[in-house]
Each structure stands twice: as structure tokens, then as C-alpha cells.
Structure 1
Amino acid sequence: MLLIRNLIYWLLVAILTPLFCAVLFLCAPLPRRRRHLVGEGWARVLTWLLWHVVGLRYRVIGEENILNQPAIICAKHQSGWETLSLQQIFPSQVFVAKRELLLIPFFGWGLALTNPITINRSDRANANRRLLEQGLNRKQHGFWISVFPEGTRIRPGLAGKYKLGAARMAVQFDMPMVPVAHNAGEFWPRNAFLKHPGEITVVIGPALFPADYAGPEAMMKAAQAWIEARQREIGGVGPFAHPDERKARAAQPRAA
């Protein structure tokens, strides 16, 4: 049954992605906020398919921490799930992404029309400059900015090196930064064809404001500490959970 559900999901993705890309191309002359809605629609449809076809649901803790102004979303990165579902949980946003993603047929072409902030990792000298230039432009258009500070997907139970790009943008643009933890990788491992049913937990933390910190380093250190603490609290429930987190979960006293 798991394989059949996933085959249906991937078949629908293969059909819908070119269709949404075609609509995006037709909408290319429109203002960026309007054509951005098409990309959001694609992400929302895929999130719906994951929920109703695969059985991969989610719950959100801390929705009251979503501000009524654009902010930097500083999120854990474990799978492809969060690149889709954050677009349903938060207001209109753009992602910081590798420039190579724009070369992927259909997906990359459509991504290019949804206002991403793209960086060339091999050109470190100019990456930060482009990050700040493009980020300021997106803020001026009213977008939130989603950043995965570890830079790549990290297996559940592990932590990568948190880079300072998100905090630098927050300080440079005077934008709040909202930390986000989740355990999606326990159900959708990196580069896995099969997504497993279950309930992902997303935790949204209180916003961090640049004025409260001495600089980007202190701001990112606070975000990292909060995210990793929440990861330990919500980890250990999915089929691909880290063994240590699974043991810690099993050792917790059961509610009466």
C-alpha cells in the first residue's frame, strides 16, 4: 500500500508540475506578486497530495508567533517537505536557493519565475553581496524570506553548521527572524523516493529582533540553540528517527 500511494503521488506530481510551469510561463508578464501565487498553488497542491494520498500529515505548534509583517524564516532542513509546506504555513515567501536548481527542467524554470534568492556557492566572494542585494529587493516587495541556515539537508538527530546569512539579512534589513523546528526528515528522508505516512510536528518560535542582539553571530547562536532544543523535544517518532532520539522518546514517562 505504501508503494502504491507513493506511485500515485509521483504520477500526479509528474502531471501537475509541467502544467503549473506552463501557467507560470503565461503569467511571466504579470507583477511578481501575482505570478508568485501560481508557484504557491503548486506547493499547496503537493502538500495536499502528501496529506491525502500518502498520509503524511502535519501539525503546527506556535502559530501565534507568525507576525503580521515580513520576517526571515530560519528553518531546520531535513527533507523536501518543508520547501513545500512552509509556503502553506507562512505568508508569501521566497527561498534562498542554489543557483543550480534553476537548471532542472520544469521545476527549475518555474522556480526562476517565483522570485527566489539564488546564490552561487562556488563564488563565495560575491555570494553574500548577492544575498543581501536580492533579499532587500524581496523585502521591498513584501515577501517573507525563507532560509535553511545549515545550507543543505541534515539527517534527523544531527546538526549542521549554521551559516550567518539569515541573521545578516535580518540585521541589514531590520527584519525579525522566526526560528522553525520540525521532524519531517523522520518521514521523508533525503533523496528518498518513498514518503512514509505519519504526523510531522512543526514548531514556530517567538521572533528574534536584531535590536536585542549584539550582531548576526549572537542572533544566529540564539536561533540555533532554540531550534536544536526543539528538535530534541519532537524527535524520535518517525520511521527514520535517529536511534538516540528514539531511545530518548521511549524512555519518556507515558501520560496517565
Structure 2
Amino acid sequence: MRMIRSLLTFLWIAISVIPVGTFLLIFSLFVSAERLWWWFAQPYLSAAIFAVRWIGGVKYRVLGLENLPDVEDNQRIILCPKHQSTWETFFIPSMTPHPLAYVFKRELLLIPFFGWAMARLDMVHIDRSARSQAWSKVADLGVKLMDKGKWVIMFPEGTRTHRGQQGDYKNGAARLALATGAKIIPIAVASGRCWPRKSWRFTPGVIDVSIGAPIDAIEGESPIDLMARVEAWIETEMRVIDPLAYPQSP
């Protein structure tokens, strides 16, 4: 039964992206990227989370929503979530009051309909093999997009990690925060509990999400030190919301 529910959920996600992506591409010829976000992208991602919940049996519980700035605030914000699954890439846009600009590898643009739609949404796609050019692009576009009211979202570990494991935290988000005066909001996500890395099968249950208070850079602080504070909060909170995944932790 679990396999059938998982298969039905993935079929819905895969099939529904075709008409949504097609309409988004057509409307992108006439309307702004912000309208495309609210008309197509955000509703599709919210519907995907709904399908995962009601078909796949994966529910969620969120702590710290009060740490997200109000819609009226024009603060520069960088979201830094723990990355264990595809789930958080769908869920976080569905709950935030601002349109998001993902920083992601450009290979995703090749995915039919999904990648094509992402290319029209004013996001930051980078070539990981050219690190210096990639950073320049993140810095330049990050400022422009944040000035338009978007929040930038970067997964500091770069790729998905297995439940209970800790990836190598990169300093890109910290460098961008220091260069732009943005605040970093750390997010702990225990999605690996229900949607494991590189798996199409769900385990029914509850995913806990914890949103931390915005972290400001300290004057004279290095990107390494700033990211160390972000990493410390996320990894400490992961052991609070998913203690069974870290049996050796105090």
C-alpha cells in the first residue's frame, strides 16, 4: 500500500507539472516573473505538498514561523535550510510570504517543463565547475533580486544528505550576506525521516521544520565564522527535532 501511495503521488507531481509549466511559459511572454511566481509556481508547489500529505501520508509540523519577517518588511533575507530531501524544496516556497530566488545548479534547467519554467522565474542558476564565475553571478543577481523584494534561498550543504548525517557547509550564503547586508535565517528540516534522499518511496509520518531567528553578521566577521554559527544552530536543532537520527549525540 505504501508503494502504491508513493507511486500515485509521484505520478501526480510529474504529470501536473506539464500543464502548469506550459501555461507558465506562455504567460512569461506577457507578465512579470513575480506574477508568474504567485500565479503558477507557488500554487503548484503548495499543491505538491498537499498531494504528498494526503496521498503519501507525509504530514508536517512547523516551529518558529514568527521568525520570518512580515510581508511589509523590506529586509534582505537569505534562507539556509538543512537539505535531506526534495520535500523542502517544495515546502519552503509554499509557506513563505515573499517570492523566493533559488541558487541552483544549471543542470536542473534541462528537466522538461520543470526546468524550463525555473528559467523564467528570475532565479540564480550556476555552473559549479566554474567557482569564481559562479560566485560573481550569485553576488550580482542576489543584490538585484533582493532589491526586487525576493528572498534568496541557498542550501549550505550544496546537496542532499542522508538522515542523521552532516554535509560540508559551504560559505556562499555567508559571503552573500556579508556583501549585501542580508540576514540569514537558518532552517532545520527532518525530511529524511519520511522522504529519504534519492528515493521515490515515502514513509508516512510527520516532518518537523524549525525556523531559527535571523542571524546578523558581526562587524569584522569572516564568512567562515558566520557560516559556522549558522551550521551550529541548524545541526543543534536537528538533534532536537529528530533525536532518533542522532543516537550518539548528547
Bucket of the pairwise TM-score, normalised by the shorter protein: over 0.9
Spell out the pairing of 1:103-252 with structure 2 (5 A cutoff): 103-211=110-218, 214-236=221-243, 242=245, 245=246, 247=247
Cα deviation digits, residues 98-127 of structure 1 (max 9, x gap)? 011001111111111122211100111211
The size of the alignment, in residue pairs, is 243
- Distance in 2, matches of 1:14 and 1:67, equals 33
TM-score (norm 2): 0.92
CA contact (8 A) 1:95 1:147 kept: yes
Partner Cα separation in structure 2 for residue 11 and residue 76 of structure 1 = 26
Which AA in structure 2 matches 1:19?
A: P
Distance 1:212 1:48, change over 3 A: farther
Runs of 4+ aligned residues of structure 1 deviating over 3 Å after TM superposition are none
Give structure 2 stretches of 5+ with no counterpart. none
**TM-score, normalized by length of structure 1?**
0.90
Paired with 2:204 and 2:94, the residues of 1 have a C-alpha distance of 19
Letter in 1 for 2:32: P
Is 1:84 aligned to 2:90, yes or no?
Answer: yes
1:31-70 deviation per Cα after TM superposition (whole angstroms, max 9, x unaligned): 1110122111111110110111111111111111111334
C-alpha separation in 2, matches of 1:193 and 1:157: 19
Structure 1 position 248, deviation (Å): 6.0
Summarize deviations over 1:172-231 as a string: whole Å, max 9, x none: 111111000011012111110111211000011111112466132221110000100011
Letter in 2 for 1:119: I
Question: Considering only aligned residues, what root-mean-square deviation do their CA atoms show, in Å?
Answer: 1.7
Separation in 1, partners of 2:170, 2:93: 22
How far apart, CA to CA, are the structure 1 residues paired with 2:59 and 2:147? 34
Percent identity over the alignment is 35
1:20: which partner in 2?
20
Structure-to-structure mapping, 1:4-83, within 5 angstroms: 4-29=4-29, 30-37=31-38, 38-68=40-70, 69-83=75-89
2: CA distance, partners of 1:89 / 1:169: 23
State the AA in 2 paired with 1:28. S
Contact 1:36 1:115 in 2 (8 A): no
